[in-house]
Amino acid sequence: MADDMIRVTYRIECAGDVEALAAKIASDQSTGTFTELPAETEAVRARCAARVEQVMPLKPLTVPSIPDPAGQGPYHRADVTIAYPLEAIGTDVAALMTIAIGGVFAVKGVTGIRVMDIDLPSAWACHPGPQFGIAGSRQLMGVEEGPMIASIIKPSLGLLPDETAAVVADLCAAGVDFIKDDEKLMSPAYSPLEQRIAAIMPVIRDHEQKTGKRVMYAFGISSADPDTMMRNHDLVVEAGGNAAVVNINSIGYGGMTFLRKRSALCLHAHRNGWDILTRHPGLGLEFRAYQKIWRLLGVDQFQINGIQAKYWEPDESFVRSFEDCMTPIFSEADRPLPVVCSGQWGGQAVETYERTGRTLDLMYLGGGGIHGHPMGPAAGVRAIRQAWDAAAEGLSLADKARDHPELAASLAKWG
Amino acid sequence: MADDMIRVTYRIECAGDVEALAAKIASDQSTGTFTELPAETEAVRARCAARVEQVMPLKPLTVPSIPDPAGQGPYHRADVTIAYPLEAIGTDVAALMTIAIGGVFAVKGVTGIRVMDIDLPSAWACHPGPQFGIAGSRQLMGVEEGPMIASIIKPSLGLLPDETAAVVADLCAAGVDFIKDDEKLMSPAYSPLEQRIAAIMPVIRDHEQKTGKRVMYAFGISSADPDTMMRNHDLVVEAGGNAAVVNINSIGYGGMTFLRKRSALCLHAHRNGWDILTRHPGLGLEFRAYQKIWRLLGVDQFQINGIQAKYWEPDESFVRSFEDCMTPIFSEADRPLPVVCSGQWGGQAVETYERTGRTLDLMYLGGGGIHGHPMGPAAGVRAIRQAWDAAAEGLSLADKARDHPELAASLAKWG
């Protein structure tokens, strides 16, 4: 009967006894409250009670994750696995989040708690998962092998639709496989989505007619209103587009579920706001736990930063995220395309390749690294492709740059 | 032109210069990236650039909010207000969350950042806000004055539908104004919503026929799938119900927006999972900022813990939350009914009254405090009403308990 439980592993930290606190969490998140109740019978407990299954002690901390002005350490820690009956939670993401994730952060007495992983039984394979994923993304972009080279409109905000279309034309000419709106661009007054689509799609089509190459353009369709988001989706489809940027945290589980059920687009997820949930190592959620839910709900391409990102995330964390995305939940088909991004200009290609299992199943997204290349964006794209060739050939960037001036120029500017 | 800006106040903490970091955040969240771009013209900046408007220095910290192993303090802090052009964000919650909230937590170099408040221009009054709020809740419950006394089904999980209905009958007989499903109860296999509605609504109707009193029952309709949630909503409406529990974080902005547009029910919000966002005082979001968004999206009744809550939240934080709910955003009508809850049994009534502006415009929710009363649930409800009478009459609980045996029993058990 191992398969009728949902197992969640938490890193729990407290001044007292971690095991006792874990038992309290298991009780609070199922049948218990602060006082004993006559109706909390054995039958009720058997149906719904969560149980602590494993406690793996960790080194205590002297400084608590959450300030504890009146208390004192050491702050004991353990990785604790609690098993919840599928009977009590079912297969709805809202129930999982409420019972096994959200509620635990309210428990008195913890000085830190972090959801490390969620192990879902096969009943959860009912969720749709990615519609396109890695193979579908390759097919839509016509890139049979090697990394998919991508860029983003810069400046991220402020361009008028025709100015944006001019940038798209430059990027198409530069030889990218994929272009996206900045995640911060949805449908502002100065660049309404409908007008942006009308300006950009002809450029994409012209480029296809001239070169045979169909560049994937992901439009920012996010809205907190699912009806608006679906209208945005339909505008893209009607214009012949095939992709969209979705800001998953900003639309929520409801927005994502609604969209995926009706979507014809390849959904490129930006996890903007994820940092609130994960940046403090003693609090929130590991990406490993977080990404499983969004993958099951239908993310096709997942932005996960990269080596030497411009943001706070350490390289090791990115490497783990990449591995998480590449690990099937129920099948290979539920793997999204990992999108390596943030401050990328090619200089990180060799290290990325070496640290992520030497795979080329990825999208590599350069923004400033392409737009800001001293020889222009086409050279920026060539430099990135040269860097990835070096990685696949086992060469250093410096070696490759000797007879590749575009890469040499990148190294001189950003190396 | 003060009214065309969205102003967000952040508490920023870092080892370096707070003001410089604030300027970087304003740039990153509008037109900038990690390298200079020729297309970031003055016209682009004028349209979209965010600006630091105010910097209020605070006392530095010696221990950073996020561990900073390689660095050292002091960690400088300031409350910084950044103004974003409405032109760049518009009125979509997803755009606001992406541009002004989510993204800032990714910035390198901060050791802490917390959104303290959001000041929205009048264009944001386009959002629907509560459909019922305080006045509508009173009307639906037929409670013209005084606090609305509420309870919750206990045990929170595990009861079969007919067992739940028996608890509902007891609570109706006990004299409550409102009953709710535990937030963890939605539609599990052992208690599908449809069967629960079929078991409970006849009890509510019978009680109304016998006594003239219509008890408001809030059913747990939450689902990550808005279509499922709407079917749940419709089941409640068809059975004559008038309220629902919604787990706002577990359905997301998309789920809430979708529901509110179509809802005929009074929406009782549980903020389960909010603690992830707010518990560390140097990180995440203040309730003040958080609640504005959910109120504009349509929350009618907002659970905000209480004095001496069973959860981690300090009393001062609850008191601020209550004040936040009572403060209009655009008008009195956008105020939700504050729901005082968590470990409440009446003993906190006098202090609650004194610290929340001596208002009786609130729902007071007792779970274990009613079910676990030594003289039974009817005595539990009477004890709570006696406690609130004491508050309104300016009496101490001890004084009131002298000739009120139910309150005396509560004080003896939990006081």
pLDDT at A274 exceeding the cut of 60: yes
Query: Residue A303: what are its φ and ψ, rounded to 5°?
Result: -70, 125
User: What type of residue sits at position A371?
Assistant: H
Nearest CA in chain B to A344: B34
CATH number at residue A74: 3.30.70.150
CA distance B384 to chain A (A): 17
- Strand runs labelled E in B141-299: 148-152, 178-180, 216-220, 243-247, 266-270, 283-285
DSSP A408: H
Q: Is the pLDDT of residue A218 over 90?
A: yes
Which H helix or E strand runs over A20?
helix A18-28
pLDDT at A244 exceeding the cut of 60: yes
Average per-residue pLDDT for chain A: 95
Q: Is the separation of the CB atoms in B400 and B390 below 8 Å?
A: yes
Residue B119, phi then psi, degrees to nearest 5: -110, 115
Residue B154: its pLDDT value, please?
Answer: 87
- Assess whether B40 and B71 both reside in one domain: yes
With CB atoms and an 8 Å threshold, state whether B187 touches A272.
Answer: no
Read off the pLDDT of each residue in A16-25 and give the average, rounded to a whole number: 95
Q: Which of B63, B157, B254 sits opposite A254 (nearest CB)?
A: B254
**B95, pLDDT greater than 80:** yes
> pLDDT (tens digit, 9 = 90+) per residue, A282-322?
999 999 999 999 999 999 999 999 999 999 999 999 999 99
Sign of the CA dihedral B335, B336, B337, B340?
A: negative
Residue of chain B whose Cα is closest to the Cα of A257: B225
Closest CA to B162 of B192, B193, B200: B200
Q: What is the pLDDT of residues B342-394, one digit of tens each?
A: 999 999 999 999 999 999 999 999 998 999 999 999 999 999 999 999 999 99
Same domain assignment for residues B112 and B235: no
DSSP letters, A262-329, are H--SEEEEE-TTHHHHHSSTTEEE-HHHHHHHHHHHT-SEEE---TT-SSS--HHHHHHHHHHHHS-S
Domain finish residue from B126, B160, B177: B126
Q: Angle at CA A238, nearest 5°, toward A232 and A244?
A: 45
pLDDT tens for each residue of A149-196: 999 998 888 899 999 999 999 999 999 999 999 999 999 999 999 999
Q: Based on the domain organization, do A194 and A62 belong to the same domain? A: no
Given an 8 Å threshold on Cβ–Cβ distance, is A157 in contact with B107? no
Which uninterrupted H or E stretch holds A411? helix A405-414
Highest mean pLDDT: which range of B38-42, B66-70, B186-190, B242-246: B242-246
Kind and range of the H or E element at B141? helix B133-141
Q: How far apart are CA A232 and CA A267, in angstroms?
A: 13
How many angstroms separate the Cα of B98 from the Cα of each of A270, A272, A414, B28, B376? 10, 6, 28, 12, 50
Q: Same structural domain for residues A244 and A365? A: yes
Statement: residue B302 has pLDDT above 60: yes
Residues A119 and A210 grouped into a single domain: no
A58 and A154 within one domain: no
B306 neighbourhood in chain A, CB within 8 Å: none
A240: left (phi over 0), alpha (psi -120 to 50) or beta: left
Q: Which of B294, B397, B285 is nearest to B345 (CA)?
A: B397
Mutate to test the interface with A, among B61, B92, B375 (most CBs of A within 10 A): B92
Torsion angle of the four alpha carbons B87, B93, B97, B98, in this order, in degrees rounded to the nearest 10: -60
Task: Give the pLDDT confidence score for residue A1 in this predicted structure.
Answer: 44
Rg, chain A, Cα only: 24
C-alpha closest to that of A124 among A293, A300, A276, A357 = A293
Scan for tokens 């990714």, then name that residue.
Answer: B106
Q: Are residues B302 and B396 in the same domain?
A: yes
Confidence (pLDDT) at B1: 44
DSSP string, A198-232: HHHHHHHHHHHHHHS---EEEEE---SSHHHHHHH
Q: What is the pLDDT of residues B311-352, one digit of tens each?
A: 999 999 999 999 999 999 999 999 999 999 999 999 999 999
The answer on A116 and A251 residing in a single domain is: no
**Phi and psi, residue B163, nearest 5°:** -65, -40
Contact B310 A34 (CB under 8 A): yes
Work out the percent of chain A whose per-residue pLDDT is above 90: 91
pLDDT of residue A173: 97
- Nearest-neighbour CA in chain A from B295: distance (Å): 14
Convert the pLDDT of each residue in B147-178 to its tens digit.
Answer: 999 999 988 888 999 999 999 999 999 999 99
Whether residues A93 and A234 fall in one domain:
no
Given this model, what pLDDT does residue B32 score?
A: 60
pLDDT value at A33 more than 60: no
What average pLDDT score do residues A59-64 get?
A: 97
Which pLDDT score, from 0 to 100, does residue A46 have?
A: 75
Are B37 and A154 in contact (CB < 8 Å)?
Answer: yes
- Residue of B209, B146, B147 whose CA lies nearest to B172: B209
Which residue among A97, A126, A155 closes a domain?
Answer: A126
Q: Are B53 and B178 part of one and the same domain?
A: no
For residue A49, what pLDDT is reported? 87
- Give residue B27's domain range: 5-126
Count of domains forming chain B:
2
Q: How far is A197 from chain B (nearest CA, A)?
A: 18
- Boundary residue ending a domain (A75, A94, A126): A126
Give pLDDT, residue A36.
57
Residue B45 has pLDDT above 80, yes or no: no
Which pairs with CB-CB distance under 8 Å and at least 24 residues apart come from B209-212? none
Same domain, B86 and B141: no
Whether the predicted pLDDT of B261 surpasses 80: yes
**Distance between CA A25 and CA A30 in Å, rounded?**
9
CB B395 within 8 A of CB B407: no
CATH number at B262 reads 3.20.20.110
Closest residue in B to A371 (Cα) is B37
Average pLDDT over residues B250-279: 98
Minimal Cα–Cα distance from B5 to chain A, Å?
14
Describe the crossing of helices B161-174 and B193-211 by its angle, rounded to 10 degrees.
Answer: 30
From residue B371, give the alpha-carbon distance in Å to each of B283, B307, B348, B410.
Answer: 37, 19, 17, 12
C-alpha distances (whole Å) from A85 to each of A200, B228, B401 are 50, 22, 43
Residues B104 and B148 reside in one and the same domain: no
- The shortest C-alpha distance from B212 to chain A (Å) reads 29
For residue B46, pLDDT over 80 is answered with no
pLDDT at res. B31: 67
Query: In sequence order, what are the residues at sequence separation of 6 or more whose Cβ sits closer than 8 angstroms to the Cβ of residue A182?
Result: A152, A153, A154, A156, A157, A220
Contact A12, A110 (CB under 8 A): yes
- Tell me the C-alpha distance between B271 and B248, whole Å: 6
Residue B230 contacts residue B259 (beta carbons within 8 Å):
yes
Nearest-CB residue to B155 (from A44, A103, A107): A44
Give me the pLDDT at residue B184, please.
94
Stretch B12-28: mean pLDDT: 94
Decide if pLDDT at A267 tops 50: yes
CA nearest to A293 within chain B: B224
Partners of residue A275 in chain B, C-beta under 8 Å: 102, 105-106
Q: How far is CA A387 from CA A266, A412, B131, B392, in A?
A: 27, 14, 57, 74
DSSP count for chain B of H helices, then E strands: 17, 13
For residue B129, pLDDT over 80 is answered with yes
